[in-house]
Amino acid sequence: MARVLRDLLRSNREFGIGIALLAVVVAMAAASALSPYPPNDTYVVPPDIPLSWAYPLGTTSRGQDVFWLLTFAIRNSLAFGVLVALLSRCLSLLIGLTAGYAGGMVDRALMAINDTFIVIPLFPILVLFYFVMRDRMSWVLLALVMAGLGWAYDARLIRSVALGLRTREFTETAIFSGMTARQILLQEHLPYVLPIVFSTTMNNINWSIGLEVTLSVLGFTDINTPTIGVMIYWANQHTALVAGIWWWIAFPVVLVVMTFIGLFLLAVSMNEYIDPRSRLSRFDA
Amino acid sequence: MSILTVSDLRAYYITRAFGIEREVRAVDDVSLSVARNEIYGLAGESSCGKSTLIKTIAAATRPPLRLMSGSVTFDFAGHRIDMHAATSSDIAAIRWRHLSYIMQGSMSVLNPVRRVRHAFIDFAHRHIARPMPEFLDIVRAHLRRLHLALEVLEAYPHELSGGMRQRVTIALATVCRPDFIIADEPTTALDVVVQKDVLAMIRDIQQEIGSSLLFVTHDLAVHANLCDRLGVMYAGRLVEEGPTADLLRSPRHPYTAHLVTSLPRIGDATPRPSLSGAPPNLADPPSGCRFHPRCPLAMDICRREVPTMQTTGTAHRVACFAAQ
């Protein structure tokens, strides 16, 4: 593992930059455990103080320390993205591999559902969902809904690969040797599609964090759990930009952009590592 | 004592789309048998039904390919099994253990993202019910016997050359020491030097295990080198069958005769005439003998009636009115 990391760092600049960016982001998220203030307490520090030694990223108009608030916000946003990605990955792998391998009626039925999800406009549904749920709206609930809506593109991608794998000789040999459909999917086809899934996982985290920020900025989520979007929402509520409290908006935006770029670079470089063919062409065995 | 008996086998590809039904008669009325410890070669040009026949023999038929009639019976040391009447668990029990199949295009039998070791574990471990370390010892011993470096186990398929991959595939198919091996064009994609090694390896392992081999290729030179008996297929039918040397020396069927005269000989520069016409469309085969539109000896009866396999000589069978 250490050797793999060293090789990746040495031969792949994208990986190095991606790791560095994500390290900063994750360190911020981890720092939330050390916060002297609970995330939802207001007026614990003097409001509207610009960047200073005592408050390195300034304070908000609600009397919160931007640095410590940001640690909670990025922790929640990251956890949200990872949860959505994991759940939707399970769905898209299950549906994509099954549809591709089974073919015929199973494939048609699953893809009909799949295509429905692809053409459904997500944003209005999520807004509608917020108005239905209102006070019962929570972070985990939103993650579940987003996972339920975000699997369709990748399921189609995985299905297209699985469709090709079905007619490969190694699949026929596997069937001939008596492997069950479940074993073939898990042992033969899953490793084949994993690099694709890995790269789309990063993109899916980006997508879900982005959508969550959009919803939160507009106030369509649980605004009492600090996330990057919720932070910007409160800054807007206090007209931070007009009042000149730019640090309240700038630092969450910078941090979430770092997350996006870091995840993207990691997706690109990990993809090359996971596929043994491109790995070997890059490192000399 | 034959280990494989195929009688009156018919397997058609049946496709139905937009109200049009098409029936491709890829295997029609084929009967043959393979004796224990024998290498049976199956020759014929592309799309003559060779691969379909052996898929049907291995009961690896999937729609649109369907068995229409006839039977395939294996006799593994007293354990008889009718491949198309047996339950799927019965068939699963004999596959790999007793009957193994080297697929066509076996260059891609190995999953490109799995190490070779995993191919052995995935495909063969269930059939050798031993704990994993012991199983891997068996695999290693088998590879050593086939003069393969043990490092191949840790390699990915793309790290191996074509010949190596082919040898690994053969090792994979023979690791359970099966009684019957089906090989579908295992040497077609290889150059002659590697072909020679691979053929020697197949013969060695076949002799060591004492299994029977059904070997399919369009390459008569390979058949001449390897096979005890040879069957020639044309347009989904078996047209001639006999001991390899006898069949190549004195072919009775005009199609076989043409195949044999088309082989180049060192020092002989006379041009080889090609048969006029093309192999028939199996969705709409010619009446009577399927070879008659191209046959130089075609008679009236050939257009009307289908010739049946008749024994001529001791072990030589031919389906031709002109030869009988």
Query: Is the pLDDT at B173 greater than 70, yes or no?
Result: yes
Burial group, residue A34, by CB count within 10 angstroms (0-12, 13-18, 19+): exposed
Q: What is the pLDDT of residue A285?
A: 41
Q: Find tokens 């082989």 and name the residue.
A: B263
| Per-residue pLDDT tens digits for B244-289 | 999 998 898 999 988 888 888 888 888 887 777 888 888 888 888 8
Return the residue in B57, B111, B126, B181 with the most chain A beta carbons within 10 A, the one to mutate for interface testing: B111
Nearest chain B residue to A170 by CA: give it: B109
pLDDT at residue number B135: 92
SS3 for chain B, per residue? CEEEEEEEEEEEEEEEECCEEEEEEEEEEEEEEEECCCEEEEECCCCCCHHHHHHHHCCCCCCCEEEEEEEEEEEECCEEEECCCCCHHHHHHHECCCEEEECCCHHHCCCCCCCHHHHHHHHHHHHCCCCHHHHHHHHHHHHHHCCCCHHHHHCCHHHCCHHHHHHHHHHHHHCCCCCEEEEECCCCCCCHHHHHHHHHHHHHHHHHHCCEEEEECCCHHHHHHHCCEEEEEECCEEEEEEEHHHHHHCCCCHHHHHHHHCCCCCCCCCCCCCCCCCCCCCCCCCCCCCCHHHCCCCCHHHHHCCCCCEEECCCEEECCCCCC
> To probe the interface with B, which of A176, A187, A281 has the most B CB atoms within 10 Å?
A176
Of A280 and B134, the one with more pLDDT: B134
- pLDDT, average across residues A4-20: 81
pLDDT at A272 over 80: no
Residues in chain B: 324
| Domain chopping of chain B, boundaries | 2-227
B127 and A275 within 8 Å at the Cβ level: the answer is no
**Range with the poorest average pLDDT among A216-220, B189-193, B239-243, B294-298:** B189-193
Which pairs with CB-CB distance under 8 Å and at least 24 residues apart come from A213-216? A213/A77, A213/A256, A214/A123, A215/A126, A215/A127, A215/A130, A215/A142
pLDDT surpasses 50 at A207: yes
For residue B183, report the phi and psi dihedrals to the nearest 5 degrees.
-125, 120
| Cβ separation B113–A275 shorter than 8 A | yes
- Average the pLDDT over A211-227 and give the result: 89
Which residues of A fall below an 8 Å CB-CB distance to B?
168-170, 172-179, 183, 187-188, 191-192, 194, 275-277, 280, 285
Residues of B near A (Cβ–Cβ under 8 Å) read: 58, 60, 92, 95-96, 101, 103-106, 108-114, 118-119, 122-124, 126-127, 156, 158-159
Supply the ipTM of this predicted assembly.
Answer: 0.79
- Residue A280: the pLDDT is 64
Nearest to A239 by CA among A67, A58, A68, A62: A62
**How far is C-alpha B248 from the geometric centre of its chain's CA atoms?**
18
pLDDT exceeds cutoff 80 at B101 = yes
Structure confidence at residue B128 (pLDDT): 85
Task: Grade residue A276 by pLDDT with cuts at 50, 70 and 90.
Answer: low
SS3 A180: coil
Q: Would the pLDDT of A283 be above 60?
A: no
Q: Which of B83, B90, B106, B122 to mutate to test the interface with A (most CBs of A within 10 A)?
A: B122
A176 and B106: CB-CB below 8 Å? Answer: no
Average model confidence (pLDDT) across chain B: 87
Q: Flag the least confident range among A144-148, A225-229, B15-19, B221-225.
A: B15-19
Is domain B2-227 in CATH 3.40.50.300, yes or no?
Answer: yes
Q: Residue B80 and residue B218: Cα distance in Å, rounded?
A: 31
Contacts of B92 in chain A (CB under 8 A): 178
B214 pLDDT tier (thresholds 50, 70, 90): very high
Q: Determine the pLDDT at residue B76.
A: 84
Q: Is the sign of the CA dihedral B243, B241, B196, B158 positive or negative? A: negative
Structure tokens at A33: 């455990």
pLDDT reported for residue A277: 67
For β-strands B39-43 and B229-234, DSSP reports them as parallel
Identify the pLDDT of residue A55.
86
Q: Where are the domains of chain A?
A: 2-282
CATH code that applies to domain A2-282: 1.10.3720
pLDDT, position A92: 94
Distance from CA of A140 to the nearest CA of B (A): 36
CB contact under 8 A, B158 and A277: yes
Closest CA to A277 of B113, B153, B164: B113
- Residue A108: pLDDT band by 50, 70, 90 thresholds? very high
Tell me the per-residue pLDDT of B43-97, one tens digit each, with 9 for 90 and over. Answer: 988 888 888 898 899 888 887 888 888 889 998 877 888 888 888 888 888 888 8
Mode of pairing for the β-strands spanning B229-234 and B237-243: antiparallel
Chain segment A24-83, per-residue pLDDT in tens: 999 999 999 888 888 888 888 888 888 888 888 888 888 888 999 999 999 999 999 999
Give phi and psi for B69, each to the nearest 5.
-160, 175
Q: What is the mean pLDDT of chain A?
A: 87
Residue A234 has pLDDT above 70, yes or no: yes
- Residue A281: the pLDDT is 66
CA nearest neighbour of B110 among B153, B155, B157: B157
Cβ separation B104–A177 shorter than 8 A? no
**Of A75-84, A111-120, B158-167, B270-279, minimum mean pLDDT range:** B270-279
A85 and A208 Cβ atoms separated by less than 8 Å: yes
